[in-house]
Each structure stands twice: as C-alpha cells, then as structure tokens.
Amino acid sequence: MRKTTERNSENLVAVDIDGLTAMLSCGAPSARKIAEEAGARIKIGRRVLYSVEKIKKYIDAIAE
C-alpha cells in the first residue's frame, strides 16, 4: 500500500486524527471527543477525516 504524502497547506478542508491533534494541541482521545461533539467526523471508506470548519466553529462557540 502506498503511503499518503503530507502536504503543507493553510486552507485545509479536512484533516486526519494526527492533523486534528496537532491543530488542537491535545491528545487523540480529546480530539476525537471534540470532533464528535462538533459533528465534524467524515468517513470515506475506512478512512476517517474531520472537518476543520466545523471544529473551528465549535471551538469559537464554546469559547464564549
């Protein structure tokens, strides 16, 4: 199986769990919990991605 290459971009639409943990500066269990509460989980086949826009909106909403 080919390894997915990482691309540096500031305008990401969706990230995997590693990208989400880096974005939120927290561990994987906390990142998954935040993503679930935000409704940001996207499943494509066996791959799970998380919507960056929904995560940002959720963080803004709980920060107020």
pLDDT single digits (tens) 2-50: 777 766 767 889 999 999 999 999 999 999 999 999 999 999 999 999 9
Q: What is the pLDDT of residue 47?
A: 96
Q: Name 26's Cβ contacts closer than 8 Å, sequence gap at least 6.
A: 34
The answer to whether the CB of 48 falls within 8 A of the CB of 16 is yes
Structure-derived torsion over alpha carbons of residues 13, 16, 22, 25, reported in degrees to the nearest 10: 100
Residue 1 pLDDT more than 70?
yes
Q: What is the pLDDT of residue 33?
A: 97
Q: What is the pLDDT of residue 11?
A: 84
Q: How confident is the model at residue 57 (pLDDT cuts 50, 70, 90)?
A: very high
The answer to whether the CB of 23 falls within 8 A of the CB of 38 is no
